[in-house]
Chains A and B, each alone.
Chain A
Amino acid sequence: MGHDDLTWLIGGPQGGGINAAAEGFAKAATRAGYRVIANIEYHSNIMGEHSYYRVRVGQDGRRNVSERVHVLVALDDETLVGERHAAFPGFKGHVQEVVPGGAVVFDGNDDPGEHGDDVLLCPVPYLELLEQALKGSSREGQAARLKVMTNVVAVGASLALMDFDLPRYQDSLRAEFGGRRADLGELNAKAAALGYEYVRERFADGFAFRLPRVAPPKGRAPLFIRGPQAAAIGKLKAGLGFQSYYPISPATDENVYLEAHQRDQGLVVVQTEDEISAINMAVGAAHAGVRSSTSTSGPGLSLMVEGLGFAAMTEAAGPVLVLWSRGGPSTGLPTRQEQADLRFALQPGHGEFPHLLVAPGDVHEIVRDAYEAFNWADRYQMPVLVLVDKALGTTYVTTDDLGLDRLPPIDRGARFHESANGNAKEDYLRYDFSEGNVTPRSVPGQAGGIYWSTTDEHDPRGHITEDAENRIRMQEKRMGKLDLALREIPADRFLTLHGPKNADITIVGWGSTKGPILDALEILAREDKVKANFLQVRIMRPFPADAVAAILRAAKKTVLVECNYTGQLGLLIREQTGIALDQSIVKYDGRPFSEEELLDGLRHVIAEGPGRLMVSHRLG
């Protein structure tokens, strides 16, 4: 018998190898047959600031992380007790998050600080054990230089407590170091074993939170994946040919991942001088007939909006823009979670122009939406925004399948085909409004397809005109494409009502809160006997007003859940349907909802009646 839902947290200084340590364990756990969710929180800093990884391991596949830590692995003092020297200390260390019966693995030289009586303290001489591991190898005496390997000692030590299969972890270490560095893989495996033995002999006996042994997956191991890879894979499946970008957190991960696959996937990735250049290159590529894209976050979108208006005005078939939203405003919280760019993404620029906006809620939806965004861009000849909030960018999950086999076919929309007589001068009208809203498009290089385009208002041939009648028809042609999309795109792509059709409470949300809300529905049903369902809105523009209104009108009580200050989806719903949601739970501390924060919030508003509640447990 084991404990089927463990939270393991590792904390330490940024740049100290914490990501590799945590991902090594989490990936080993996935390969061992557990379901894992792992989230990193870090500062906008390269070296030194506190960062930590929360890894939740079990068999059920939880969709959110928990604050209740069973095993804490501290690589430094700050992880234990928080910042000792801060002018305005907020974060007080992770030791306080350790549950009764839980354990803390830390360097024997550190002071674990205040902790509950029932917490098992496991001081481990990290450096000494590392020196021992290096003994007799070609790297003997280099412990100080290889100090990052103490992470592996610490992880190994924690595995003994949980009774995790050590060889699994050692395999994943060996896999990290191939080729000429294979000896390092072996040394790491040894360091892990020494940490493991040290704790097994002294502390592990009788520790309550042991993982049950599970059968490893048959056949291929599941995927261990987070948002940036999902977005990139969706785009590649769609036939992405051109991606331009300017480095910015948290969009960089997707961009660099694509850049690393330029050779094997045959796409062009251009790092530009700024976001304005990035969007405009992507628009140029879209006009040239290539599926093109860029990815950025809020500050980048602030610069890109001009390019979106350009794309929409000239009816380019794209680009697709993935907006990795982070804490704003201005530079804000560059590496932290927030859902505060929804309203900006709904109106990204001056004037009235059409674009599509979709907000996926997990890695599967990211793949699907990033893929289908290109179909919509081609079909409706407009830019498409895919809004993904930062929590999905840094949260790894275990999944068996991304649904690549179930993607709809590629649809390049209406194309102009060369007429038999070829190059008849100027008989093709790129912006013809006589045959519906979407005109078949040619691409430069096509004989007979010559056209002009301009960011000025233009006539069907694409030349500038300020004629009133033309203006009316052109604006109706462009804006009418949104109505077309609303009619053509299947209803179930716009929104999902999760849970029972009839419920006492209807939670409304979007994006990364999907997983946390789905977990909360189950817990409320089980522990509180509360029957709740969840309206997840996914396509925000064109907005499925009728469908949303029908669900909300039938709801007994509605609660909005969002990671922002103003409740932006609530405002959108009110604007589009006239319906004001009864209650709201908002969060703007830069962290995603933990399981406990969301449950606290829901229980509170359910009990208290109408109102707006801000929740934050002030996590590190």
Chain B
Amino acid sequence: MATVLTPRDYKSDVHINWCPGCGDFGIVNAIQMALAELKLPPHRVAVFSGIGCSGKTPHYIHAYGYHTLHGRVLPVATGAKLSNKDLTVLAVGGDGDGYGIGSGYFVNSGRRNVDITYIVFNNSVYGLTKGQGSPTLKKGLRTKSMPEAAIQDGINPLALAVSSGYTFVARGFALDPRGLAGLIAAGVRHRGSSFIDVLQTCPTYNDLYTAEWYNHTQAGGPRLYRLAETGYDGKVKDPADADEVVAKKVQAIAKSYEWGEKIPVGVYYEVDLPTYEDALADRNPRYGQEALVDTDFADRDVDPLLDALR
């Protein structure tokens, strides 16, 4: 298959049933653009999702697609990736999915550093259940869909990702598919767990974080700016240098609290560390040589196990 791949090659023929104007369209476009840029044959890619509006994403992408359970997308994607290390694995989900019901998996996936890319569609509401506040909605805020203002505070997903151990932590914007595609491609290229929090507009339920809000501050001009354009560098140069690692983490966490008149997008933190798969290959060289799914266990010898029981 020597043909040039375009974003079109990653489109399925399924009718997209998100609300008109939903920020999710931009994210799907960005994923398709990134896959084309990476020149990945569709059958080498598997996209996993949780439940919610974002959960529909795999259906719209021409690649192996798994629309799993609410909050559980990371364990499912992890099991698949460890079973076939040669696959490109994307996990997608909403902020309720990933930071609420899935928060335990979000944190613990960071500990493992499996080579997958996790994209969160962060719109601060539960869209598919008609607009309740989500774990990123700050205390005291109220969208038009909520009967009362949020009584619980919002979490900071980027800070949580950095402290959980993700080795690539970024934030993108759904209405900037080109910029987001670049982040996704970088996340996929990164060896290890990549996490991209995507600010996503939900015109149906969230009247606070609208396109207008993101694009115009009170002072005028866009609210979002690119970290790279300010000389910010989140990449750890020497992963063995513990001081540098801590300094870069602290820098990223501090940056992640910048929210208001100005909101940074781009790569907050990046470090090259051995992956979970690397550790498995250290234990068992065969794991590094061939995908587990291709390993033939018919020659398995359990006699030593039996002898130990005699």
| A interface list, Cβ under 8 A from B | 30-31, 220-225, 229, 232-233, 236-237, 239-242, 244, 261-266, 268, 270, 272-274, 276-278, 280-292, 306-307, 310, 314, 402, 404, 410, 422-423, 425-426, 443-456, 462-464
Contacts and interface: CB of A to CB of B under 8 A. Distances in A.
Nearest to A290: B83
A175 to B, nearest CB: 10
Most buried by A among B48, B65, B81, B86: B65
A291 B307 CA distance: 25
Contact of A242 (B82, B306, B310): B82
11 contacts: A229-B309, A233-B302, A236-B300, A280-B76, A283-B68, A288-B83, A425-B62, A452-B66, A453-B67, A454-B66, A456-B67
Contacts of A220: 307, 310
Most buried by A among B1, B43, B63, B78: B43
A453 B64 CA distance: 8
A448 B305 contact: no
Contacts of B293: 241, 288-290, 443, 445
Nearest to A217: B310
Nearest to A278: B75
B74 to A, nearest CB: 8
B195 to A, nearest CB: 17
Contacts of A277: 72, 75, 104-105, 108
Given A223-B310, A281-B78, A239 B297 contact: yes
Contacts of B287: 266, 268
Q: Which 10 A-B pairs have the closest CB atoms?
A: A284-B79, A281-B79, A288-B83, A454-B67, A280-B75, A239-B297, A444-B64, A284-B76, A273-B108, A290-B83
Interface of B: 1, 12-14, 41-44, 46, 48, 51, 56, 58-59, 62-69, 72, 75-84, 86-87, 104-105, 107-108, 280, 283-284, 286-287, 291-293, 295, 297-298, 300, 302, 304-307, 309-310
B284 A225 contact: no
A289 B99 CA distance: 29
B87 A288 contact: yes
A280 B71 CA distance: 11
Given A222-B310, A444-B46, A454-B67, A266 B295 contact: yes
A285 B295 CA distance: 13
Contacts of A239: 297-298, 300
Given A241-B297, A273-B107, 20 more contacts: A223-B309, A233-B305, A236-B305, A241-B293, A265-B302, A273-B104, A277-B104, A284-B66, A284-B81, A284-B83, A287-B80, A289-B84, A443-B84, A445-B291, A450-B65, A451-B65, A452-B65, A452-B66, A453-B67, A455-B51
Contact of B79 (A236, A285, A291, A463): A285
Contacts of B75: 244, 272, 276-278, 280-281, 284
A518 to B, nearest CB: 23
A264 B46 contact: no
Nearest to A286: B79
B66 A287 contact: yes
Nearest to A399: B309
Contacts of A464: 56, 59, 67
Given A241-B83, A402-B306, A444 B43 contact: yes
B306 A410 contact: no
Contact of B292 (A273, A290, A462): A290
A237 B82 CA distance: 21
A212 B297 CA distance: 44
Nearest to A319: B79
Contacts of B67: 452-456, 464
A545 to B, nearest CB: 33
